[in-house]
Structure 1
Amino acid sequence: MDVVVIEPRKGRHCAECRQGPLTMHIREFNAPLCLVCADLAHLAYLPRGSAALTRRAREASSLSAVVVRFNRRRRRYERQGLLVEEAALARAESACLADAEARARRRERDAARRAGEDVRFTAELTAEILRLFPRCPPARAQDIATHSAARGSGRVGRTAAGRSLRQAR
């Protein structure tokens, strides 16, 4: 179970020392406590963004806390970053710098692999559309498959139901 630190939208004051307005606090017994009173003031803030840096910093730190902020539109708390020990953050940054080139090469290989998979998936989806709808013009079937198979589109071609179409044959 992680310690959760809240980044408030309104200016809150510490229930114990009355300092405020607080940029970050934890909730204890339904009252806000500043990081000094919660003995978390020695931790460094690591904003979200780099998964490798976050993972390594959390592993190297003996104490960490997740920083969240409430999103009114979505009506939920969303992760903003981590609080970790400064020494752990420094070790994680040096480890990330040491293997940055290898991770960049892996990202390039993965992008090329995914592009090949997308081409194959679009071709299979085109064939399945033509099988299910024999009177559909091939150019139209290709357009439909390209549109619905776009990665990250949320369209039916990328859902479990869409993937099951090609496995049902």
Structure 2
Amino acid sequence: MRDYSIRVASPDDIDSARALMLDTVYRDFGTGYVPRWHADIIDPATAYLAPARHTLLVAVDPADGAVVATAALDSRGPAHPPNPRRLADRFPSGETAQLRRVYVRPEHRRRGLARRLVEELLAFAAADGGYRSVYLHTDPAVPGAEPFWRSLGKVVHDEREDLGGGNHVVHFEIPMGR
């Protein structure tokens, strides 16, 4: 097993992190880049490195120094729309640590990287002291995503159960201080 290093992204990691994120939205999500959903991918430095309460982590392959996984956290709760109003009310911006961009290159999956990255994000949120909840949403069509998040948190809303299916997104809360 490789001994991946996990660290806070530096400005030198931004191009590699962006490439990994873009590859993921094209390959796994099938949507490609959608500006209203993915603006943080184009400018991750502004989204995650500049604000004090935000962070972007990368996992680096020791064999070649390549960024093989990302995970981010910001202080924005789910916006309404497109998310249901009750979620925006339950997870307000400023009090909610939202997990984002937990992506692992396919050839590096099933090695515990996503779980390690999430644990680091949860420690960051706890150390901040201002977050009262941890929220995320996922596309259940992405292989392995829904079972992974179910292993860490609880479903607070499944849009597939909404009349018309909503956006087919599953929303989760992960307990603080896991």
Higher helix share: 1
Q: Which has the larger radius of gyration?
A: 1
The answer to which structure, 1 or 2, has the higher relative contact order (CA under 8 A, 6+ apart) is 2
Higher strand share: 2
Give the TM-score normalised by structure 2.
Answer: 0.22
